Amino acid sequence: VRFSFLERLGIQVAAISEKADGDCGEGVAGEAFCAELGVDYAAVIRGRQVHGDHVAAVGEGERGLCLWNTDGLVTDVPGLPLAVTVADCVPVYVFDTCRRVAGVVHAGREGTRQGIAAQAVRLMAERFSCRAGDIHAVIGPSAGPCCYEVTDVMAGEFRTLGLPTEGRRLDLWESNAGQLVKAGVPRDQIEVTGICTICGDRFFSYRRGNEGKRNLALICL
C-alpha cells in the first residue's frame, strides 16, 4: 500500500507491505517488497525496536544499519530509505515538504504513551530546522479503536494522559494525530488511513495470531 497523500507532495516512497507481500520482518520478502518500490534493500536503515520513544536522525553514515534502542528514524538524505516493522503497532510517517526531511516511527501502545510521534517532530526541528507547520503525516494501518482493547490499568494510564479511550479500548490513531497537532502539525496535513489490522485481513496482526510476522513501513525521500 502506497500513501499518495505523501507521495504526491514529492516524496519517493511512503508505503507499507501487506500480507500478500509476505513476512517483511527479515529477508527475502522484505527485499522483494523494496525492489518492487525501486528501493535498495541493503541501504535500508532500521531501528532495533524496543517500544521506547527514541528517534534517531540518520545520514549516509548509517546506510544499511540497524540502530540499537531506536523506534523512529528521520533523515534529510534523498534516496536513503528508512523502515520500521509493525504488526498492529502504528507506523507514523512524517515529511517536511519545505526542508525535505522524512521519517517514520513505530508507535505501539508504549511508544504512543511516551509520545514518540511528537518526539520525531521535535528532533526534526532540532536537527534540521524543520517547522512543524510544514510537516505532513500519515497514520498507517494498525490496531484500530474498533478492536484495540487493553487492561483497565493501561486504559487508565491513557486517560490520565488525556489520550482518547473508550472503555478499555484505546484509540492509537487519534492519540498519535492529537500528539502531532499538539506539536504544531496542522490537522489538515495529517491523514489517518483508518485501516485496522485486527478486524481487517490485509495485514499481519499480532493480536489476530500472526506473532513474529511483520509489515514493513518504508519511507524514502
With CB under 5 A as the contact rule, the residue among 32, 37, 65, 147 that binds Zn ion is 147
Report if residue 192 touches Zn ion, rule: CB under 5 A.
no
Report if residue 141 touches Zn ion, rule: CB under 5 A.
no
With CB under 5 A as the contact rule, the residue among 24, 132, 198, 216 that binds Zn ion is 198
Pick between residue 103 and residue 140 the one whose CB is nearest to Zn ion: 140
The interface region with Zn ion, picked from 47-55, 92-100, 160-168, 189-197 by CB under 5 A, is 189-197
Pick between residue 75 and residue 193 the one whose CB is nearest to Zn ion: 193
Min dist CB 203 to Zn ion, Å, is: 11
With CB under 5 A as the contact rule, the residue among 146, 150, 154, 192 that binds Zn ion is 146
**Residues with Cβ < 8 Å from 97, sequence gap 6 or more?**
9, 10, 134, 136
CA angle 122, 126, 127 (to 5 degrees): 120
Report if residue 103 touches Zn ion, rule: CB under 5 A.
no
The residues of the shown chain that bind Zn ion, judged by CB under 5 A, are 144, 146-147, 196, 198-199
